[in-house]
Structure 1
Amino acid sequence: MFRILLTGCLAALFFSSTFVLNRAMSLDGGHWVWSASLRYFWMLLLLAGWLAVSGRARLGIETLKLFRKHWIFWTVAGSVGFGVFYALITFSSVFTPGWVVAATWQLTILATPFVLLGFGRRVPLRAILLTLVIFAGVLLINVEQAATADLSSTLWGALPVLVAAFAYPFGNQLVWEARKGEKTWLPAIDHPAMDDSICRVLLLTLGSLPLWGVLIAVVSPPPPSTGQLVQTGIVAVCSGVVATSLFLYARHQAANTAELAAADCTQSMEVVFSLLGEALLLGHVIPGMLGWIGIGLTMLGLILYVKVQATG
């Protein structure tokens, strides 16, 4: 359990770059569609390049074959778990500071038990009730944000993240269930690529590409700037490759529902890291009293939730 928590927290540190840099690109006039889609185009190049230079080109080829064999599954899992999730997170950064998006994103901890229940996995009732503490913290943070900004911007910043909070664990749980091979309505995928975090990220990235193509065609955003190209590249390395690989590694080390929930809960640390990052890089004002209480409740909910899950 300790290794899972430590790896998850390290992933949260790298994940926080997403919220800080997405907000920075938005303030610089970069379109959210490019902030979202370019990250995954970068990731595709980085992941393929890493497999090649690390001497695992053959595994990369086998991964592509695995994608082709189960392309419908990977398109669904990638479009929901990577595409819908990240498109909505990036869209929200247009309307609200990155640390607020990161805090609202902790609703994924509230969403995860319901996703697990939807897949027929057991989740202690006490754990579900404790997620309400986290929800209260997120609510306070957004109430404070609404007091400093208009209600419309607050809602546009919060509601898409709520949907993303369900999309991300749902997409990841699809992969976990396919690896376990216990659901008759999902393909049972027993393949070396499923044991490699880089390959799993590559498969989900490939699956998200159709969604990005549709978004670019429908929205028709203006061309990205050089700065946006560079910053999405940084996000791709820090969050898309390093953080996602660490998080999926932690999640796939889980042997039961309690450890799965513990891995997912480590994402709460993104709030702290994002807040520090925005304060240092963008010079944003620190939260007021209500915001700090909200952050405190969120972290308290995390600790209690993990404790309950660990003790069953």
Structure 2
Amino acid sequence: MTHGAHDGRRALAAIGVALLSALFFTLTYVLNRAAANDGGHWAWIAALRYLITLPLLLPLVFWQGGIAPVWRAMRAHPVAWLTCSTIGFVAFYLCLSYAASSGPSWLIAGSFQFTVVAGMLCAPLLYRDARRKVPMAALGVGGVILAGVVLLQFGYAEGRLDRAAWIALVCVLVSATLYPIGNRLLLLHLERTGEHLSATQRVFGMTLASQPAWILVAILAYQHVGAPTLSQVSFAAGVALGAGIIATILFFKATGMVRDLPAALGAAEAMQAAELIFAIALGALFLGETWPRGIALWGACLVIAGIGLFAWLVSRPKAPPIVLPEGPHT
């Protein structure tokens, strides 16, 4: 099999995995909004997810390579792990949780699709090889998806966003930028050190490294609003299982599979745009939100078209990939 055909199959497989992760990531928006509607404080919403995620990950990481390799990697480079987890987990989710208390789930899911182009736009700042070049074709398709997102938002908001919605929008744009940066920084670090960790091990390591920050956030939340209610803990557990474990591992798996293919990496990240479609359906079914009509419906069609264009783009035969240290793609 030629390099081009193999890369196309690998890219399409990564897109499929990324789409599945998007379905589970959507639980974040729906359950976080439900928790906010139930009176949950945004700081508890954030802290509880990752405090609950860590023990849930333990049996999985034992099955997928064990804790020892992760612990060795973290002890050898603690600053790198703390930096990646602070950017990609802590700051990312604090912003997203705060946004959940300021706007509806469709706005949060839609705004987060800025991640479609955020990772690609940050590439020149992160890489020192051929990957620093922004793939213009992939960026163009990302623009199509973002156009659909804008139409969806304005269709839902009837052309107007109030102060709370604007706050949510800014917070999610920051969150959407931090998440791919944290993930890409960790992949780069592991490339430089030659450490090969599975997707589950990487998620576990990032979650473990973020625990001191989440304990501090929980203490501050307790001092401010007291202990969380049982329903808030239940919502957080749902997010921890669906988004914190299943979705995150699938997303890390997808991006790890195509870490040496810039357009395919951007496409895998862009598949998170499907969260918007999933959020519309789940929001209508469980939160009483309306289905898209008029301009919003056209926006949904553009998002779906963009996903299809990305699949076509990365499935085309390409030149041999960038040579990286030998090891499994995880």
Q: Scaled by the length of structure 1, what TM-score is found?
A: 0.88
Distance change in 2, residues 1:210/1:302 (3 Å): same
State the distance in 1 between where 2:180 and 2:53 align.
Answer: 20
State the distance in 2 between where 1:306 and 1:179 align.
Answer: 27
Deviation at 1:214, TM superposition (A): 4.1
Q: Which residue of 1 aligns with 2:119?
A: 112
Of 230-239 and 209-218, the range deviating more from structure 2 = 209-218
Distance change in 2, residues 1:38/1:210 (3 Å): same
Q: Scaled by the length of structure 2, what TM-score is found?
A: 0.84
Deviation at 1:217, TM superposition (A): 4.6
Q: Is the 8 A contact 1:106 1:165 kept in 2?
A: yes
State the distance in 2 between where 1:71 and 1:157 align.
Answer: 33
User: Any stretches of 5+ residues in structure 2 without a counterpart?
Assistant: 1-10, 319-330
1:229 match: secondary structure: helix
Q: 2:52 aligns with which of 34, 42, 49?
A: 42
In the alignment, structure 1 residue 244 sits paired with structure 2 residue 248: yes
State the distance in 1 between where 2:64 and 2:157 align.
Answer: 51
Distance change in 2, residues 1:229/1:250 (3 Å): same
1:106 match: secondary structure: helix
Q: Which residue of 2 aligns with 1:232?
A: 236
Deviations 1:86-133 (A, max 9, x none): 111111111222122111111100212112232232332232233222
Deviation at 1:256, TM superposition (A): 1.4
Letter in structure 2 aligned against 1:23: R
Q: 1:222 aligns with which of 210, 223, 226?
A: 226
Deviation at 1:244, TM superposition (A): 0.7
Alignment: residue pair count? 300
Q: Is the 8 A contact 2:138 2:263 kept in 1?
A: no
Letter in structure 2 aligned against 1:237: L
Of 301-310 and 222-231, the range deviating more from structure 2 = 301-310
Letter in structure 1 aligned against 2:86: S
Matches within 5 A, 1:37-116: 37-52=47-62, 54=63, 59-116=66-123
Q: Which residue of 2 aligns with 1:185?
A: none
How many percent identity over aligned positions? 30
Q: Which residue of 1 aligns with 2:3?
A: none
State the distance in 2 between where 1:172 and 1:302 align.
Answer: 21
State the distance in 2 between where 1:109 and 1:297 align.
Answer: 14
Deviation at 1:160, TM superposition (A): 0.7
User: Any stretches of 5+ residues in structure 1 without a counterpart?
Assistant: 182-187
Deviation at 1:309, TM superposition (A): 4.6
Q: Which residue of 2 aligns with 1:265?
A: 270
Q: 1:172 aligns with which of 162, 165, 183?
A: 183
Q: Which residue of 2 aligns with 1:302?
A: 307
Of 233-242 and 122-131, the range deviating more from structure 2 = 122-131
Q: Is the 8 A contact 2:117 2:266 kept in 1?
A: no
Aligned Cα root-mean-square deviation (Å): 2.1
Deviation at 1:306, TM superposition (A): 4.4
State the distance in 1 between where 2:183 and 2:174 align.
Answer: 15
Q: 1:200 aligns with which of 197, 202, 208?
A: 202
State the distance in 1 between where 2:123 and 2:64 align.
Answer: 36
Distance change in 2, residues 1:157/1:288 (3 Å): farther
State the distance in 2 between where 1:221 and 1:50 align.
Answer: 33
In the alignment, structure 1 residue 285 sits paired with structure 2 residue 290: yes
State the distance in 1 between where 2:112 and 2:211 align.
Answer: 23
